[in-house]
Amino acid sequence: MAEQAGRGCSVEGCPRPHKARGLCPTHYRAWWRAERDANPSIRRCSVPACHRSVDTRGLCLSHYRRVLREERDADPSAPRCQHPGCPRADHAKGYCHSHYSSALRAGVIGDPCAVPGCPSGVAARGMCHRHAKRARVYGLTAAELTAFEGDCEVCGRPAEAVDHDHTTGAVRGALCFACNSALGQAQDGPARLRALADYLDKHSSKEHAA
């Protein structure tokens, strides 16, 4: 029993404890909903074109939550969002659903992200949304993520992407979106990139000669 109690979630990078089927409560619920959505015998959401399974009141979880927000917005007794000019109801920390996310990203509410220098508030794993996603996808710690907050290793512009080897999954470095996209378009092929550089040099020489 002690071994069972000490088990962690089997999803890579998730620090939460095991609940069932090797998953934490959050990932177990996601698995359970996916299983229901894939089961053709379970009733579908009543919203046209939605193929997810029914969760509550004839709606899938996503549409049910949307209805709850709309009902709360229409309730005159519900506290209002504190963002200037916003008529919607309070969702959390005095903000509506949309402005809560904005305030969290801006670091107006919540504890600071564990990545040094990041101004955003904590969303998950002690980090903001952006860094928590990178930590989950690439298996990096908050300290390791700090290395990807500087400049692009190719052109020197601000780094906006974590570059990784698409074959092995190994993280290579920090790039701006343009350089990261260029690598992807070239399919990470050094020979193709060198050929492109030669092509540009050749035509640049022709232009200067003319």
Residue 168 forms part of a structural domain: yes
Q: Measure CA 123 to chain center.
A: 10
Residue 4 forms part of a structural domain: no
Residue 2 forms part of a structural domain: no
Residue 22 forms part of a structural domain: no
What phi, psi does 161 have (nearest 5°)?
-140, 145
pLDDT by residue, tens only, the chain of 210 residues: 334 446 788 887 677 788 888 888 888 888 888 888 888 898 999 999 998 899 889 999 899 999 999 999 999 999 999 999 999 999 888 999 889 888 887 778 878 888 888 888 888 788 888 888 888 888 888 888 888 888 899 999 988 888 888 778 788 888 999 999 998 888 888 899 999 889 988 887 666 555
> 156: domain CATH number?
3.40.1800.10
What pLDDT score was predicted for residue 21? 87
What pLDDT score was predicted for residue 2? 39
What pLDDT score was predicted for residue 80? 95
Residue 179 forms part of a structural domain: yes
Residue 191 forms part of a structural domain: yes
What pLDDT score was predicted for residue 1? 34
What pLDDT score was predicted for residue 6? 60
Q: Cβ distance 47 to 63 under 8 Å? A: yes
Token pair of 198, please? 């030669």
What pLDDT score was predicted for residue 4? 46
Distances (CA, A) of 60 to 39, 43, 70, 194: 14, 10, 15, 51
Distance in angstroms (rounded) separating the CA atoms of residues 70 and 210: 66
Domain with 203, as residue range(s), is 150-210
What pLDDT score was predicted for residue 84? 92
Residue 116 forms part of a structural domain: no
> Count of domains in the chain?
1
Distance in angstroms (rounded) separating the CA atoms of residues 145 and 182: 22
| Geometric angle at alpha carbon 92, from 130 and 107, rounded to 5° | 40
